[in-house]
Amino acid sequence: MGQEIERKFRVAGDGWRTNAGIRFRQGYLCAEKERTVRVRTEGERAVITVKGATRGVTRSEFEYEIPKEDADEMLDTLCGRPLIEKTRHKVEHGGLTWEIDEFSGDNEGLVIAEVELEDEAQEFARPDWLGEEVSGDPRFFNANLAKEPYARWRDDG
């Protein structure tokens, strides 16, 4: 079984900006607490992903490449609105790859850094641009950002 152990943080500062990043478009065919089914394009690559419920910072994950044309059609016709639009930047720090998502569209202004770990207790060096941890705050899950975009709760965050 596939598994994802991921910690999320808000980003404080621009010290991470080193490359142009890749444009992502993603939408949800199913976005429930117990499971999500997501379609995503990452530049010219496309995937469909099934994720289970989050327990701590861990959840089951299954991801499969699909034809980009199929993904575009699903995003345009089947997925709920709004879509998640973001540019992903990858930054190496302390032997780990950080993925920094700079959101646009209805989530404009939100910048989140994620790091995948081998286990929940794994220690890591914190980059100086890392802000507060939001791993346990469901508002920051992409599936929830598609239901309740950052623009609607920006004053609270």
**Residues marked as catalytic:** 28
Backbone Cα Rg of the chain? 15
CA distances from 128 to 13, 133, 153 (A): 8, 13, 26
Name the DSSP class of 122. Answer: -
User: What is d(CA 126, CA 12) in angstroms, rounded to the nearest whole number?
Assistant: 12
Beta bridge partners of 17: none
CA distances from 105 to 84, 131, 150, 151 (A): 8, 22, 10, 9
